[in-house]
Amino acid sequence: MITVKTHITFKDFLMFNVKNSLTRILIFPLLALAFFVIKHFMEESDERDLLGSASMWFLVVFVFIVIRSYFRLKNAFYSNKKIQETISYTFTDEIVLNKGETFEGEFGWNTVYRVKEKKEWFLIYQSAHIMNMVPKKDFTKDQISELRNIIKNNHVKAKLRND
């Protein structure tokens, strides 16, 4: 049995989302850079002006997406009071018990859709779109190893790290 107390701050939530959407967001500045480089090597023409305009539009769209994403994440975090609470997770061979300041719940490992282990998080999916975000910063190394073993022993579909 493992018991861990966790607390997710807005900074934790923001960094998690930035790291997990970075590849999708980076397409706009990369396209802008590619158009800018191509434009630099072209002779003076209408196409060169068009590439310059396209580069600027990709950068404007990128800035808009970053600002919009920040405010959407801020709204998502602050509108969900449960995610802001200190949450205690107890992992046993059969169940996961999660207890916050205003709620308490439990679920069996046999109902878990899948588990993804990231460098800084355990993501325990209840369905394809609903998950418990458990920060690894609150675990000891031994607890991380023990949780990995519990997940493996319960034959949960999982993508676990080897470190």
- For domain 2-8+85-159, give the fold: PH-domain like (2.30.29)
Asked whether residue 150 carries a pLDDT value surpassing 80, the answer given is yes
Q: pLDDT tens-digit profile of 35-72?
A: 666 666 666 655 656 656 666 776 777 788 888 889 99
Domain ranges of the chain: 2-8+85-159, 10-79
pLDDT of residue 113: 96
Asked whether residue 147 carries a pLDDT value surpassing 70, the answer given is yes
pLDDT of residue 5: 95
Decide: 86 and 7 in contact? Cβ < 8 Å. Answer: yes
Asked whether residue 32 carries a pLDDT value surpassing 80, the answer given is no
3-state SS assignment for residue 107: strand
The pTM of the full predicted model, rounded to 2 decimals, is: 0.75
Which regions of 2-160 does DSSP assign to beta strands (E)? Answer: 2-7, 86-91, 95-99, 104-108, 114-117, 121-125, 131-135, 158-159
Q: Predicted confidence band at 2 (pLDDT cuts at 50, 70, 90)?
A: very high
pLDDT of residue 111: 94
Pairing of strands 158-159, 104-108: unpaired
Which tokens in the block code for residue 160?
A: 């676990």
Q: pLDDT tens-digit profile of 77-125?
A: 999 999 999 999 999 999 999 999 999 999 999 999 999 999 999 999 9
Asked whether residue 158 carries a pLDDT value surpassing 70, the answer given is yes
Question: Distance of CA 76 to CAs 2, 10, 17, 81, 84, Å?
Answer: 29, 10, 11, 10, 11
Q: Which whole number is the average pLDDT over 131-149?
A: 94
